Structure 1
Amino acid sequence: MVEIVEPQIKQTDIEGLVVITPKQVTDERGTIRELVRSSWLAEHGLVSEFEQANNTLTHKGGLRGLHAEAMTKLVTVVSGEAFGAYVDIREGSESYGRVVTVDITPGVMVLVPQGVCNGFQAVRDNTEYLYFFDREWKPGMPGSALAPLDPDLGIDWPIPVDTDNRAMISEKDLNAPRLKDL
């Protein structure tokens, strides 16, 4: 028996940040997911051209981010599970300072517009987080970062973070600016 899930887009409280369910076809052998279909993305007014893709392997409890480089990102997990957190730091944005969190499992994608911080915590061991970028990353590229543990953000990370454990959080992320300091 074949099950087909048609693609869907869900708006969030951050302008331009959307949660996407890609087209999925499941049969007795498993599931195929369309991670990028340029024509469908363009038809819905979303970024449809990507110049780079990265895959990170993160151990359970590891936290990466919050980063906002000068690029739009399409993110998902190909295995495991991540708790995604997004913060709008775009000057003049109506949703400036808003935080949105998304439970990301295979089949859940988030389109993160330029100027919105992207971060995640691996909820399962060996979580593989996949990023598509509309621009190629280059050293010195403009961008910003926020401290993911900034209490003013109110992000309830699912696994407590030991700030002395570099397997959980990098020194760079730990010491990034707080929202009020931007």
Structure 2
Amino acid sequence: MSVEIVPMSVEQTDIDGLLRITTKAVTDERGTVREFFRTSGFAEAGVPVPERWAQLNLTWTKRGGLRGMHGEATDKLVGVAAGEALGAYLDARPDSPTRGAVVTVPLTVGTQVFVPAGVCNGFQAVSDGGCQYLYCFGVEWQPGMSGVAVTPLDPALGIAWPVPIDTADPAQISAKDAAAPRFEQL
């Protein structure tokens, strides 16, 4: 039986603290086991994670569906469990040295992003069967939780969403996300 091991790797992006992570994967004839999260592995790689994740959400989003940009007051670990998405991130933190920076990351199974509190996170499902997108939150989400939201359609962000968006189609974008303020209005 042959075994291939791909170690975990972490790279800093153009947003301070926003990390692109390739998960550890062990593949043999039966398939692949990926470590979506292991406390010691993340600690060894220098990823600042909470002592425990307080909430995990798994969404299914149809192709072209756009969610975000939300910058809650909690760290997040995001990635896809199936399918593909384009992840987009905006540094909306008032005192950050990279405030206003935008980063996009193609998300496939095995690619994750560590999103620091206050950095806005959004994504568009791009695979034909949609995607399953996993969020790990450092604290439980609550209605009225502090944070910011920016419309993912703000032209000043320069995000080239791969699938054109019809703002009148609720299957593509929620009215709330479409009506969120532009970044300059924060």
Q: Which residue of 2 aligns with 1:47?
A: 49
Cα distance, 1:154 vs structure 2? 0.5
Look up the match of 2:59.
56
Shift of 1:168: 0.3
2:27 corresponds to: 26
Tell me by how many angstroms 1:39 deviates. Answer: 1.3
Deviation at 1:45, TM superposition (A): 4.2
The residue type paired with residue 141 of structure 2 is W
Between the aligned partners of 2:101 and 2:130, the Cα distance in structure 1 is 29
Q: Identity over aligned residues, as a percent? A: 57
**Structure 2 residue ranges without an equivalent (≥5):** none
Query: What is residue 177 of structure 1 aligned with on the other side?
Result: 181
Question: What's 2:150 paired with?
Answer: 146
Change (3 A) 1:37 1:160: same
- Give the Cα–Cα distance (whole angstroms) in 2 for the partners of residues 152 and 139 of structure 1: 28
Q: Deviations over 1:46-100 (max 9, x none)?
A: 2142111000000000000000111110001010000000000000211000000
Q: CA deviation at 1:151?
A: 0.5
Q: CA RMSD in A?
A: 0.9
In structure 1, what residue type is equivalent to 2:110?
G
**Offset of residue 22 of structure 1:** 1.2
1:29 Cα shift?
Answer: 1.1
Cα distance in 2 for partners of 1:167, 1:99 equals 25
2:81 maps to 78
**Distance in 1 (alpha carbons) for counterparts of 2:11 and 2:167:** 34
Out of 73, 82, 90, the residue aligned to residue 87 of structure 1 is 90
Name the residue aligned to 2:10: 9
Q: Runs of 5+ in structure 1 lacking a partner? A: none
What amino acid is aligned across from residue 128 of structure 1 in structure 2?
Answer: Q
Q: CA deviation at 1:126?
A: 2.8
Residue in structure 2 matched with residue 121 of structure 1 by the alignment = 124
Q: Distance in 1 between matches of 2:176 and 2:88?
A: 17
